Structure 1
Amino acid sequence: MRRRRLTFVLLGIIAILAVPALSGAAPIPGTIITSTGFFRFCAEGQIGIANIDTSKLVENGGDFTITGTVYKDESDFVFSKSAVVTSAKKISTTAYVQYENNDLTKPKLIRCKMRTGESLNKGNWPNGTTYGNGRFVVEPAWGFGSAGDGLSTSPSTDGTCQSINQNTINSVWGSLTNTEKNAAPYNPTASNLPGASANTLVTVADTVVGVGPSWTPPVAAINTNGAVAEIGSRALVATTNSSTAPYFEGAHYCTLVAPEFLKRVLLGEVSPS
């Protein structure tokens, strides 16, 4: 299998990680089941959200790369924006990981700021428009112009945060032993198991908002509806030329369950929350 490498920036340190190639539109490979997953989580998610043609990525002989910056400080993350670097043909995503514990060892929810597929072949913002100061400055461009033609295989219809969460369910469930599956309090399969009835772990459609202040408030990683555990996402989608703030347009943000938290829930170590 061809292996793909994505570059990630964590607190100013660049780390290159080898990541299995993806098939179809699945944004999260089956190996992401531990806390190390969030280092590449949002950059992987960008592929499915924008329906990226992976043959155009550098690791497959193309020209484009996807990077991710993980912010430790929440206020820094709020100020950050997903962006492009046109000269380097780079899509930049940002991430913030929320934890269950003060020691920051048990990730619970991952917030990802990504780009819409339709923005990738758009051009520069209006003259004089800027965003950010210092390390938060982003290039005043929605996308790569004509160089981005075909980078998204379906620019008129983005993927969903729900699809990323479903892939996380598939990955984490697939990592469990048969004994663990039989004892799990929730069950994503269509067959009843000793510990839980069929279809008691599901994803639900994204709750889509249009402005940042509606996206940033706290949100549960997993809700319960009777005996069913439901994984939803608060999504923010702002297409280009949809507002009076160009720096905000072309954004597709997701709140996503952390794979390790989902695994702890399935092992009965914690309750959904």
Structure 2
Amino acid sequence: MPQRQLLATAAICATALLTLLPGSPAAGAPSEPTQFGNLCMRTQMLTANIDEASFRRAGGTIGNVDYTDLASFAASKPKLRPLETTRFDTYENGESKQVRCKGKSADHITAEYGPYVAGSEGDCASANRRTVWEASVMLSATERMAQVRQANDIVIDPDTAARTGQDWLADFPTATKDAEGRVHLPSKSLVVPLNTPNIPEEFKGQHYCTLASHAYVKRILLGQVLA
């Protein structure tokens, strides 16, 4: 059963980047130290370069639906108004490892909400970069004493572009380690602009991302994985 989380951006303060906001997630829904309390919602704001104030003035709200079944997630589509992402987590040892997010493209958001709400299309790598920073600053004093990698030690790789939805859903590494011992965070994207020809309308205006979770990045920083 999908679990829906909705936050009105009017309730969001830009200074509350590391605070979970009013309107708690549905039971069992993932929560992370992001401005929007959910990695996929924050990723949507980043990839579409949404200006929060303009989005709010246009009546915008943002929410997310969490899926626990991959087949149901594969069939899901993000919504435009209200803006709503969908999410699927892959787990390792009981903790989220990888997050797949389905969101809308910047040009589709602009077409719906008007000019100045969204900017140029961003990338999924920017979401991984933000996650590394968020996970790092949220370490406790005890965890910092055990930290073996700094945020700057993690290499953020550029997006690997998928050509189809099936390609995007295929297995993809959450993190890799190169011959010199550096940890890399790859990301996988599927971007379908609104003006893409010769495809059904419901497939247009999408931006999907495959990302590392906060929990897994924290384990990387603490040397608990890829040591």
Written as runs of structure 1 = structure 2, the 5 A alignment for 1:177-256 is 177=140, 180-181=143-144, 183-189=146-152, 200-226=153-179, 227-245=181-199, 246-256=201-211
SS of 2:108's equivalent? helix
- Given candidates 88, 108, 116, the residue that maps to 1:150 is 116
Cα distance in 1 for partners of 2:205, 2:157 equals 24
Query: Using the alignment, how far apart are the partners of 2:114 and 2:70 within structure 1?
Result: 31
Which aligned pairs between 1:33-52 and structure 2 lie closer than 5 A?
35-37=30-32, 40-52=38-50
Q: Percent identity?
A: 26
Residues 132-171 of structure 1 correspond to what in structure 2 (within 5 A)? Answer: 144=112, 147-152=113-118, 154=119, 157-171=120-134
Once the two structures are TM-superposed, the CA of residue 29 in structure 1 deviates from its matched residue by 3.3
Match of 1:111 in 2: 100
Distance 1:54 1:161, change over 3 A: same
Please give the alpha-carbon distance, in whole angstroms, between the structure 2 residues aligned to 1:17 and 1:36.
16
Q: Cα offset for 1:254?
A: 0.4
Q: Secondary structure at the match of 1:204?
A: strand
Aligned pair partner of 1:78 in 74, 77, 97:
74
Q: Distance in 2 between matches of 1:14 and 1:158?
A: 24
- Answer whether contact 1:210 1:238 (CA < 8 A) is retained: no
1:11 and 2:2 correspond: yes
Deviations 1:166-187 (A, max 9, x none): 1111111112256644643333
Q: Which residue of 2 aligns with 1:128?
A: none
TM-score calculated relative to the size of structure 2: 0.81
| Structure 1 residue 212, shift from structure 2 partner | 0.7
The 3-state SS of whatever aligns with 1:67 is strand
Give the secondary structure class of the aligned counterpart of 2:38: helix
RMSD in angstroms over aligned alpha carbons? 2.8
* Matched residues, number: 213
- After TM superposition, the score normalised by the length of structure 1 is 0.69
Offset, 1:16? 5.4
Q: Helix, strand or coil for the counterpart of 2:59?
A: coil
Structure 1 counterpart SS, 2:80:
strand
Distance 1:45 1:14, change over 3 A: closer
Structure 2: runs of 5+ lacking an equivalent: 21-29
